[in-house]
Amino acid sequence: MKLHYVIYGEGPRQLVILHGMLGSERNWHTVARRLSNKFRLIVPDQRNHGVSPHHPEHSIEAMRQDLEELIESLQLESFCLLGHSMGGHVAMNYAFLHPKRVRALVIEDIAPRSYDTSLVGIIDAMSALDLSQFKAKKEVEKALEAGIENPDVRNFVITNLVRDHDHLRWRINLDALRQFAAQEVVRFKADPAWKYDGPTLFIGGAKSAYKVSDERNLILEHFPKAQIAMVKNAGHWVHHEATDSFCRLVSGFLETR
């Protein structure tokens, strides 16, 4: 699948960034601009997200294949790779299979294991709305309060709402993403034989339910050279909630790679 992507900067090092579930390349504008003086950043919309194509299949393997196609089309022989949440699982899988191409790996707030998540409930709340009944995004955000209590999550969800002429629509493939959230996220497990021996940094949010620091032993099984950095005042979206700290960690880790 040919993904939509945006390129920032012309630095000497290549950095590919993969967003998480319900995200898009637009969610990375601030970070990409901050890092663009040191890196050439390639930030795609993954399948069923942003303005990339929709497809009924949504899986880690399919997204890894999409990434492989993008890397081939850009003729990147070696690069650094960063992935958040769902994008982190995709990045890990790519690094396992193409270790010589990945100069260094950064994973944000996810470990190589399955998770029980609230994503199904979030997607159900989005799907339950008849968008033809709303004229403004603020009205939709208000209507989502019943199904999505956290205002930060509602604000994030609303980034997927777009206007086509005189009506609003979700730009993500809700059906495919619900199936992914209900099945693959809760059963994902890295093969015990999979390893990436390159430099790796896991960045976790200290307030996140994903508790990356508790997975140190599992992480080191698959990433022997991994470092783990926890950001004190951040939850799952570290790059958004603590942008300065996140950029310092990423830049400091990658600048010598």
Inter-residue contact 167 to 137 (CB < 8 Å): no
Among candidates 124, 157, 152, which has minimal Cα distance to 140?
Answer: 157
Look-up of token digits 């004229």: 135
Inter-residue contact 161 to 170 (CB < 8 Å): yes
Selecting among 36, 175, 213, 251, the annotated active-site residue is 175
DSSP 15-32: EEEE--TT--GGGGHHHH
Concerning whether 85 is annotated as a catalytic residue, the answer is: yes
Half-sphere exposure of residue 170, counting CA atoms within 13 Å on the CB side?
25
Selecting among 19, 236, 239, 240, the annotated active-site residue is 236
SS3 of 37-93: CCEEEEEECCCCCCCCCCCCCCCHHHHHHHHHHHHHHHCCCCEEEEEECHHHHHHHH
Inter-residue contact 185 to 90 (CB < 8 Å): no
Concerning whether 236 is annotated as a catalytic residue, the answer is: yes
Output phi, psi for 256, to 5 deg. -105, 5
Selecting among 85, 89, 208, 239, the annotated active-site residue is 85
End-to-end CA distance of the chain: 29
User: How many CB atoms are closer than 10 A to CB 83?
Assistant: 27
Helices then strands, each counted (H, E), the chain: 11, 9
Give the residue numbers marked as catalytic.
85, 175, 236
